[in-house]
Structure 1
Amino acid sequence: MTTPRCPQPPESQPGPYARAGRIALALFLFHSGGIMSTAPTEEVATETVVAIDPRQVQIGANVRLDANVDKEFVANVREEGVIVPVVGYFDGDAHYVVVDGQRRTLAAIEAKQATIPAFATRRREDADRIVAQMSANHHRVAITAAERAKGFEQLAGFGMSAAQIAKKTGYKRPEVDAGLKVAGSDLASKATERWGFLTLEQAAALAEFDQDADALQALTVAAERGSGFDHELQRQRDKRDDREAIKAFAEQLTADGVTVIERPPHDHKTILRLNQLDDAEGNRITPETHADCPGHAAYVTREWRWIETDAKDDEDAADEQEQVTVATYVCTDAKAHGHVDRWAGGYGGSTKKKAADMSEAEREAARAERRDVIESNKAWKSAETVRAAFVVKFLTRKSAPKGSAAFVVATIAEEGHWLSDHRTPTKADELLNGGKARMRADRAKAAENVTEGRALMLAVGQCCAAYEAQMGTHTWRNVTPGPARYLAFLAANGYELADVEKRAAGLDKPAPKPRAKKARKATTPPPETKAPEGNTAASSDEHPAA
């Protein structure tokens, strides 16, 4: 029987774009699973390469349970064709039987490829084929993040854009962008080489904090732990923004002749805020009247404040919060400078014990509680950013996940009044319409001419908006049914709750008390994670070929 030959590529291709093509090909093969990790036998290497119709082949005995022919792989086969030949043989009826390459064959069929390259080799018994498949896949080593970044950098050096690299290699655009960012950062590049657990996206995030050792440590710990990285990243970004805003404001105050100090403890004995001080004659002290006092100073903080809107002019208008940088003016030694603390006698009828009347243990407990409130409020604000990004993407689904109907019914039954709250429509526009304001009638029309699954998803979006409109920094302090239900629903659908959100959902469990252990004479530090040594073999089909 005469079989058509598959044209062979030239051994060398001059010019930088040819080299770029070879690099793109290597990355694609690593990404899609297209290179054998073990060297082919001499017999296979010298056998015939033929062009076969993928629709006419048969699939031999195989260990693969799922070929996992994803859309990205099919798109690449449609663009580039099957690059690495499948391996098989012709049976007694002249039918080609695939031994290695089920995934490529099925992708070629879906991509409507007329022919694919194939090695025609000798027939093996089924048991031998299974042994060969398992042996080949057992010794495969995936390409590392550091190697992907290097490959993207080389392709960019040949003039390929990020979009072209993504199209040619089969990697998604965000990963290509992250890889190029990593390649441009010495710190991020070394991090991917040293720590194999880092993804390109995580390494690119590290590059943002190359001068912040504390942030780098926190992010690396989160990445190695395998949870909480997105929340930690947003928290570190918020901290950085706060520091920069505070620094700029403090520099302006200093230029104006005001001494800037660190924020003192709330129960400081001598540094008191001006809004609680009177002069010797009983007059209220203001920053203007206090400017000439030797103790005149200020500390700078970032705070969230409400922006009031006039709901009368807009039926869907809602109050909003914004973060502002503020200066709190103080006197560094109020008593020595003749000022009177009008709050010294307590806060009216308050029964709260004053700091002066507390024991040292009580004062430390009070300080710890205040620190917890401050840090938890900041953590909640950071989590809001991460959660909103997840919900916006989640609500683009064409059909609702399991449990959505029950979630909507429970929301209507117990928090129905939140759905009609004047803040909910604005929040719904943020989550479902990219922040573009809609009239209520237009929101209703959005459910017309859509599938039942998408309509339910829109209902889920309205419920999400109702919860988001009601939740705030107060939510984490107590577990209430509505927010707990909402956060649990998000968690069940892939959202990773921040620790402060777990408190709001009632899902935070106190860590078990460590048992006492006998002291050891010497301890051996854990071995340092070694940098990946590079890829030594590549796969032909990611998992055992079918």
Structure 2
Amino acid sequence: MSATMIENPDVDQEQEPDQKAQTTEPQALAEADEGLTHAIGDLEWHFPEKLVLDEYNHRKKIDTEPDATLKASVRESGVQEPVGARPQADGKIGIFKGQRRWKAQLAANREAKRKGLPLRKIPVLVRRDLAGVDDETLVLSIIENTQRTQASQVDVADGLTQLALLEMPASQLARHGRRLGYQPAEIKAAQQASLLGPGKLDEYGQSYGWSFVELADLAEVSELGWDAERDLKEARRKDGLANRDKKGTATSGHWEQTMARLRLDLADLHKRKELRAELDAAGIPVVRYSYWDKANKVRPLSHLVTPAGKKMTTKAHAELCTDHAAYIDDDKIRAVYVCRDWAANGHSLSPEQAAQLPPEEDKEVARAERRRVIEGNKAWRAAREARQGFLIKLINPGKGGPKEISDAAWSWIMLAMAGNTYWFPRFYGSSKHLEGMAKLLKTEVPKQTGRRDEEPFAHVVKRRGRPGRAFILLAQVAAAFEREQMHDMVWKSPTDAAAGWLEFLAAEGYTLAACEQAVIGEVNAKREEAEAKARQSAEEAEQELDAALRDAAAESGVELLVGEDPEGGNDQADPAEHEPEENAAEADTPEDMSLAA
């Protein structure tokens, strides 16, 4: 480690900025400890007017101006702590840390010039070894500013974003992250997080301690408004409670479940807006439709027939009826075409719909059921996304993860491949079976040429090596089961298989959604009910058998003994076993024992 000092001028005899500074020969400093491997740089004195701001200076938006206290200190005593700088491509010296001290001296020099006083230089540690080394420069700038109380989340996010955009190996990014106190995932998430703006970044980042990954998730769903913030706060609180007494790696299952649901809500919102824009552009009015109100004037065209009794088509209705309109289905987010007043326009209901006109009191029941179905479908689809995310992590554990799958996972593999299951072979009969596996294995969907000896995932097998091949088998089973057994109807009609799969995932560390817990609960309740009925049936059968034996004994004049086996055993109990206790006590007296001898 070496440093060079280039003149420390007397304050009263400093030169004007346009005069060339005098330099002295480099002086070697004391050698550093053996463990200190980074360079300090050359200590030089420069007029601040001759310096520029480095492109990779971390502090750019918030608190870049020196406060009154700093200005007063620099005006009286000059800059006492050297700023950090490096050579620029144009030959100038660019500051990458100490920007506020530099600006304070600039302001002090402007004031001195107005008063006719000499201008001051500032001490600069010039890191010539950082010329062209942008990632290291940026990291040092971030470290400098995050260690100061005025550093803002906005500038931290911008600095991490710059770092993520620089091309470098993953190992080098991880090393920079360790020095800064951030995981690589946080560095990559900083750009998305910065979309929240200064207020939200400081509120959730500094006040609440959210990571940049969490801030990026919040930014992703911020269009949903306060509801998204509230739900994520609650999910984070639940994860904190779950991890409080837990040993080992902390989990974020509640957060992941909530984000899966919010992402679906956001996708629905965007799809709804796109549909509305398309309908508006086509001049089609958008109306509300009450599914449960069969007496409503608004009816879907699928409920109507033409005067000739034929099905009403969208094209024909649009051409002939002035009340042609549409509503947006809340469940599938699609346009459903309707007539706004079917009776007034002379349309007729189909025979099936005419027979379904309910009494007034059934409307509320139908409305509640419709609402339950829509909410249930949405919750189940969101849980499916969360399960997919968990399975991807389980099947691709990375360097720090488990090297082998669990015994329970092996049981599922053997059940699928050697058991009497219909869902596993049916999955391989599907044309989309490779898509599910590719998603879980984090690889591209292989292109098939139709050859019988084709090996679509040979590259994955080679990359994983021998220890990781069990995870490929698990990916096969998981993709098959999720596609064939965990469809939208499961939450309505839970199965033993679905409950068993969810219990397996929970044992592996997955956080169950409320709808998934309900599936397990309903299956267990049905199982307990069936077991209770079986026990009751067995008891009733035993009672009927006892009654039949008694009736038969009464008819034949045979007296049943109390201890007689009703299943046919006629062995009587030993009379000695039924002797009074006092007789047994008498037989144990010393006199009886001597007589027996």
Cα shift at 1:376: 1.9
2:372 is the alignment partner of 1:372: yes
2:445 is the alignment partner of 1:436: yes
Within 5 Å, give how 1:87-486 maps onto structure 2.
149=153, 152-153=156-157, 155-156=159-160, 161=165, 166-170=174-178, 171-186=182-197, 187-193=199-205, 196=208, 198-211=210-223, 212-226=225-239, 228-268=254-294, 269-291=296-318, 292-301=320-329, 326-343=334-351, 354=356, 356-357=358-359, 359=361, 362-397=362-397, 398-412=403-417, 414=419, 416-421=421-426, 422-423=429-430, 424-432=433-441, 434-437=443-446, 441-442=454-455, 453-470=467-484, 471-486=486-501
Q: How many residues align?
A: 364
SS in 2 for 1:289: helix
Q: Which has the higher contact order (CA 8 A, sep 6+)?
A: 1
TM-score of the superposed pair, with normalisation by structure 2: 0.52
Distance change >3 Å, CA 444–CA 270, structure 1 → 2: closer
2-structure distance, mates of 1:453, 1:176: 31
Q: Which runs of 5+ in 1 are unaligned?
A: 24-78, 84-142, 305-324, 348-353, 511-546
Cα shift at 1:329: 1.3
Cα shift at 1:370: 1.9
Cα shift at 1:489: 1.9
2-structure distance, mates of 1:159, 1:451: 33
Which structure: larger Rg?
2
Which protein has the bigger helix share? 2
1-structure distance, mates of 2:463, 2:193: 44
Q: Which residue of 2 aligns with 1:53?
A: none
Distance change >3 Å, CA 284–CA 367, structure 1 → 2: same
1:2-26 CA distance string (max 9 Å, x none): xx97278869553257986899xxx
Cα shift at 1:233: 1.9
Cα shift at 1:473: 0.7
SS in 2 for 1:259: coil
Distance change >3 Å, CA 206–CA 332, structure 1 → 2: same
Distance change >3 Å, CA 174–CA 188, structure 1 → 2: farther
Q: Which residue of 1 aligns with 2:128?
A: none
Native 8 Å contact 2:205 2:211 kept in 1 = no
Cα shift at 1:289: 2.9
Cα shift at 1:259: 1.1
Distance change >3 Å, CA 459–CA 198, structure 1 → 2: same
Distance change >3 Å, CA 384–CA 371, structure 1 → 2: same
1:411-462 CA distance string (max 9 Å, x none): 4455543222213455323323624226675268666897664333222222
Distance change >3 Å, CA 442–CA 147, structure 1 → 2: farther
Native 8 Å contact 2:153 2:206 kept in 1 = no
2-structure distance, mates of 1:148, 1:492: 41
1:352-410 CA distance string (max 9 Å, x none): xx462363xx5333322222222222222233333223222321244213532233234
2-structure distance, mates of 1:501, 1:159: 41
Give aligned-pair identity as a percent: 24
Within 5 Å, give how 1:54-69 maps onto structure 2.
none
2-structure distance, mates of 1:453, 1:507: 38
1-structure distance, mates of 2:344, 2:164: 70
2-structure distance, mates of 1:160, 1:177: 6
1-structure distance, mates of 2:365, 2:191: 48
Distance change >3 Å, CA 458–CA 257, structure 1 → 2: closer
Amino acid at match of 1:436: V
Amino acid at match of 2:358: A
1-structure distance, mates of 2:152, 2:354: 64
1-structure distance, mates of 2:388, 2:467: 22
Cα shift at 1:485: 2.3
Distance change >3 Å, CA 505–CA 460, structure 1 → 2: farther
1:160-202 CA distance string (max 9 Å, x none): 8576665323122211233444345225314315752633322
1:243-294 CA distance string (max 9 Å, x none): 2222222222222221112343342422111121134454543333323434
Cα shift at 1:464: 0.9
Cα shift at 1:507: 7.5
Native 8 Å contact 1:258 1:296 kept in 2 = yes
Amino acid at match of 1:331: C
1:124-182 CA distance string (max 9 Å, x none): xxxxxxxxxxxxxxxxxxx9xx9894673474598785766653231222112334443
TM-score of the superposed pair, with normalisation by structure 1: 0.56
